[in-house]
Structure 1
Amino acid sequence: MSANNQNQQSQPQLNFWQIFNMCFGFLGIQFGFALQNANVSRIFQTLGADIEEIPILWIAAPLTGLIVQPIIGYLSDNTWNRLGRRRPYFLIGAIFTTLSLFIMPHSPTLWIAAGMLWIMDASINIAMEPFRAFVGDNLPQNQRTQGYAMQSFFIGVGAVIASALPYMLTNYFDVANTAPAGEIADSVRYAFYFGGAVLFLAVGWTVISSKEYSPEQLAAFHQQESQQNTETSTHNRSAKQYRNGAILWMLIGAIFTAAIFSQDLDKQLYILSLGIFAFGPLQLLCSIKLTNNPTERSSLGLTFNVVDDLFHMPKAMRQLAVVQFFAWFALFAMWIYTTAAVTSHHYGTTDVVTQAYNDGADWVGMLFASYNGFAAIAAIIIPFLAKLVGIKLTHTINMFIGGLGLISFYFIQDPSMLWLPMIGVGFAWASILSVPYAMLSGVLPPHKMGVYMGIFNFFIVIPQLLAASILGLLLKVFFNGEAIYALMLGGLFMMLSGIAVLFVEQNKQTQ
């Protein structure tokens, strides 16, 4: 091959503003996501939800991502039209998320609001999933850490502004933050309107300002990567293996479900048991499809190909799944229990109607805003740190300072000083949102970048479901129900994630 042909197949480096434009849409997506996280529980309670119902109502978010992201990834891998490969899904997701943000604060009943949460979260996932693959498509391997770090920057900025928006509207623009019973406050309504507009405009900017390479161009750019990443096709799972797997998973799921029922365990454990059981019929369907057509695996449809790709993940992806599991278990422990931990351990109360409790809860909101702000700063530093010490050690450092930050909540007595550990949490958060994806994109078959990015979301959702199901039981049995120990456990899991990343195998190009 001539030097000229080799040069033609080298993927172009993008400049700062090109990377900025292709990641800018994530500002809008995170704006919508942060508004959802900060205000949906408030909307549910306003419409009459009991506190015990909120976790079940919220389960829409991770379950929707579990289902939607691999489907959208698979579809975007196999799309090419006038808008491109990933951009059609950005646009569709942005339109429906914007409409959901406009409609949800007008929900007249609790169950309409819960239904709108499902629609909103599905729409956010339609827009969000292809953005991860978009970076893998458009950037050469040596720029992907920078690309995912840029996404982390916009996630941090969007989360800070969106989380504070109702407060800002009330305190700086005299918008009412109270309303008659059963109605949503104007501060929340206007925040959702503004968030919908920001989301649509930000994603729209990425759609019109960024280009995509055709499948033929990508194949030429990634020819060497494709040859290196052949592990996924070295062993095909047989119809018998799928059938045996179906029986095993359904049996385990049925036994687990029966145990929860007979022992009257926490009802949220049904989420895990039924999820285990449900994976059985999916494998049975794959077995039937493969038996009917054993030679043309690629033509067996979306369900088969997503499940088949799950069983044929590259080795490095399986290793990164462990990294993600520990990290997201830690994050969910922090999100669920920080309010309870700070109000009880630092403010000395568990009574939700006291001034001390509400002061502590307000302070936690500021702490959460601060770690997102620190994450935006960390996103600027991470690419330079990765060049200095390597991408794996970068993640280890960030996860250790984040883990030590969570553990230090136990030892810091003055609540006004709790912003200090949030520096470490911010660095860990930025790293979680960038480094694993940069490492993953370097080991995936380029033509399956979308579906594998969607499957990778499983290892974000599963630890969240597990944490929601067992953390309360662990605290009750081992720690006398004291929430501060959930943060310490989260810190330990963050550090385990930092250790696990050291064992991930990489291509030389991504080290």
Structure 2
Amino acid sequence: MTTKPQLNFWQIWNMCFGFMGIQFGFALQNSNVSRIFQTLGADYSNMAILWIAAPITGLIVQPIIGYFSDNTWNRLGRRKPYFLFGAIAASLSLFIMPNSPTLWVAAGMLWIMDASINVSMEPFRAFVGDMLPRKQRAMGYAMQSFFIAVASVVASSLPWMMANWFDISNIAEPGILPDTVKFSFYAGGVIFFLAVLWTIYSTKEYSPEQLQAFQDAEAQTQSEESFVPRTAKKYFTGGATWLLLGLVSFAIVALNVEQLDKSLFILAGGFCFFAICQLVAGLMAKNNSHNGFAQVMSDLFSMPQTMKQLAFVQFFSWFPFFAMWTYTTAAVTEFHFGSSDVTSAAFNEGADWVGVLFSAYNLTSVFAAICIPIVVKYFNLRIAHMINLFLGGAGFISFLFIKDPTLLIVSMIGIGFAWASILSVPYAILANALPAKKMGLYMGIFNFFIVLPQILAASILGFLITKVFDNQPVYALAVGGASMVLAGILTLRVKEPEY
């Protein structure tokens, strides 16, 4: 039997280099879209609803792309066709987004841009499993984390750099984005495409026959969990339960919409959507139908045990980041810079400082990625992850107590350690627990537990800010901190696979 060969450092570097471009797009999106929305007239009450495009897009796109990329082989390869076409669409979106004339055009462009980025990104996670033997997968994900951090540092700071280093205008007429933001997105579009193109050019994928030979060899040294298909009866029972919950939730929100918040309809809609998915899957199981949707639903309910345990950790780890991406600009400009007027110099100074803060946590994650293996050496992956999540939780909560915006750099250091850990440790544990032939699909399904907390955050954070926290968005970050501490505690439940 043929064993998968180890790759050298530069081969892994080239294989992961495209992720730098992908993260360049995500970082520009995460650090500037709230600013774009506010400039075009959005307020706190609808900010989360506008942002919901990003997680919903990932929820739908990633498992689909994972399934199809598992079953693709053509002249470009297995994963590379999705790298290329996603990069083309994402780069075009980055050019269009900062020129959106209205709020709803910008919201629509967020859907398109996020979908395009996800098309490129999802196969990159499975790419590590395809190309590297088990002993090198942790290094592969660490390399991806390195490129994520580098790209995020540069991309998040671009508006600030253009204003302070290149003397580009940072102020514009009401409803128009300043040139610093526009030029940053243009640069991001070019870098995204060229970085992905480099990986496509420099890395040759294994053929299906080669991958099958590697899988056969690995099957001699490991055992896979047995998967029992979910029955139609269980699908129907689960679907009916979730549908009832969704309808009751809709009724409660509709009858009390003035006391509650319209964004809670998102949560009720999510319950109904999950119910419908189960009912459709039940019909397919009853009729013995086999397609991509049926496969995704079956594997969702048949996840390996380690993946199930990691799912809870991921859920509560990612809730805080959606809160940060959505509300940090509003929180810092209002709480720390004292202005919510998007045309004022104070607001734009605060918004630029948010970009620097985002760069700070990403820069920290570069050094954290070096420290994590040292901590793992003395403890283990789970304890290292728990420590980093606790640091991140403390960083989020500290926004409430730090008044000087300069000192928020300290908060971002803790968040940076958590970010580095979230991007590498769960994948290092997960990759060796997955069946090789379904690496792309399961990586797409694992994304559910990144996306679902973001949908929950979009559903409830607007309500919490307006109805509970007296329109003070800084409390969204504190709630996120509590969630991250809980995620740290839940790491103790995760069982690492043994090989």
TM-score past 0.5 threshold: yes
* Matching residue's letter, 1:19: I
Which whole-Å CA distance do the structure 2 matches of 1:129 and 1:203 have between them?
Answer: 13
Q: 1:303 aligns with which of 293, 310, 322?
A: 293
Are 1:65 and 1:121, in contact at CA under 8 Å, matched by a contact in 2? yes
- RMSD over aligned CA atoms reads 2.6
Partner of 1:14: 7
Partner of 2:273: 278
Which whole-Å CA distance do the structure 2 matches of 1:56 and 1:499 have between them?
Answer: 30
- The answer to whether residue 424 in structure 2 is matched with residue 434 in structure 1 is yes
Indicate how the Cα distance of structure 1 residues 192 and 486 shifts in structure 2: closer, same or farther if over 3 A, else same. closer
Which whole-Å CA distance do the structure 1 matches of 2:405 and 2:279 have between them?
Answer: 53
Q: 1:502 aligns with which of 492, 495, 499?
A: 492
Are 2:156 and 2:356, in contact at CA under 8 Å, matched by a contact in 1? no
Shift, 1:363, TM fit: 3.4
* Matching residue's letter, 1:272: L
Which whole-Å CA distance do the structure 2 matches of 1:349 and 1:172 have between them?
Answer: 25
Which whole-Å CA distance do the structure 2 matches of 1:272 and 1:244 have between them?
Answer: 20
Which whole-Å CA distance do the structure 2 matches of 1:224 and 1:389 have between them?
Answer: 31
How big is each residue's C-alpha offset from its partner over 1:191-241, in whole Å with a ceiling of 9 and x where there is no partner? Answer: 2221111001100111111122223333333346557563352x2211222
Stretch deviating more after TM superposition (90-99 or 215-224): 215-224
Which whole-Å CA distance do the structure 2 matches of 1:116 and 1:471 have between them?
Answer: 23
Indicate how the Cα distance of structure 1 residues 380 and 87 shifts in structure 2: closer, same or farther if over 3 A, else same. farther
Are 2:30 and 2:325, in contact at CA under 8 Å, matched by a contact in 1? no
How big is each residue's C-alpha offset from its partner over 1:459-482, in whole Å with a ceiling of 9 and x where there is no partner? Answer: 111111212222344466766665
Shift, 1:380, TM fit: 3.1
Q: How does 1:73-112 map to 2 (within 5 A)?
A: 73-112=66-105
How big is each residue's C-alpha offset from its partner over 1:106-139, in whole Å with a ceiling of 9 and x where there is no partner? Answer: 4344433332221111110000101111112212
Are 2:47 and 2:326, in contact at CA under 8 Å, matched by a contact in 1? no
Partner of 2:441: 451
SS, match of residue 381 in structure 1: helix
Shift, 1:446, TM fit: 0.8
Are 1:412 and 1:418, in contact at CA under 8 Å, matched by a contact in 2? yes
The runs of 5 or more residues in structure 1 that have no matched partner are none
SS, match of residue 165 in structure 2: helix
Which whole-Å CA distance do the structure 1 matches of 2:404 and 2:179 have between them?
Answer: 35
SS, match of residue 77 in structure 2: coil
Q: 2:358 aligns with which of 362, 368, 393?
A: 368
Are 2:39 and 2:342, in contact at CA under 8 Å, matched by a contact in 1? no
Which whole-Å CA distance do the structure 2 matches of 1:278 and 1:458 have between them?
Answer: 14
Shift, 1:430, TM fit: 0.8
* Matching residue's letter, 1:459: F
Shift, 1:71, TM fit: 0.3
- The answer to whether residue 483 in structure 2 is matched with residue 493 in structure 1 is yes
Identity of aligned residues (%): 60
Are 2:160 and 2:352, in contact at CA under 8 Å, matched by a contact in 1? no
Shift, 1:255, TM fit: 1.0
Q: How does 1:5-404 map to 2 (within 5 A)?
A: 5=1, 8-9=2-3, 11-49=4-42, 52-180=45-173, 182-223=175-216, 228=222, 230-231=224-225, 233=227, 235-264=228-257, 265-293=260-288, 300-342=290-332, 346=336, 360-404=350-394
Indicate how the Cα distance of structure 1 residues 382 and 17 shifts in structure 2: closer, same or farther if over 3 A, else same. farther
Are 2:51 and 2:326, in contact at CA under 8 Å, matched by a contact in 1? no
Which whole-Å CA distance do the structure 2 matches of 1:98 and 1:437 have between them?
Answer: 27
Which whole-Å CA distance do the structure 2 matches of 1:423 and 1:157 have between them?
Answer: 15
Stretch deviating more after TM superposition (407-416 or 263-272): 407-416
The runs of 5 or more residues in structure 2 that have no matched partner are none
Shift, 1:439, TM fit: 1.0
Q: What number of residue pairs does the alignment pair up?
A: 496
Which whole-Å CA distance do the structure 2 matches of 1:51 and 1:471 have between them?
Answer: 10
Are 1:229 and 1:314, in contact at CA under 8 Å, matched by a contact in 2? no
* TM-score calculated relative to the size of structure 1: 0.89
* Matching residue's letter, 1:370: A
Indicate how the Cα distance of structure 1 residues 340 and 118 shifts in structure 2: closer, same or farther if over 3 A, else same. closer
Partner of 2:397: 407
Shift, 1:429, TM fit: 0.4
* Matching residue's letter, 1:154: F
* Matching residue's letter, 2:488: G
How big is each residue's C-alpha offset from its partner over 1:376-432, in whole Å with a ceiling of 9 and x where there is no partner? Answer: 222233344434432222211211222223333444454432212322210110111
Indicate how the Cα distance of structure 1 residues 416 and 186 shifts in structure 2: closer, same or farther if over 3 A, else same. closer
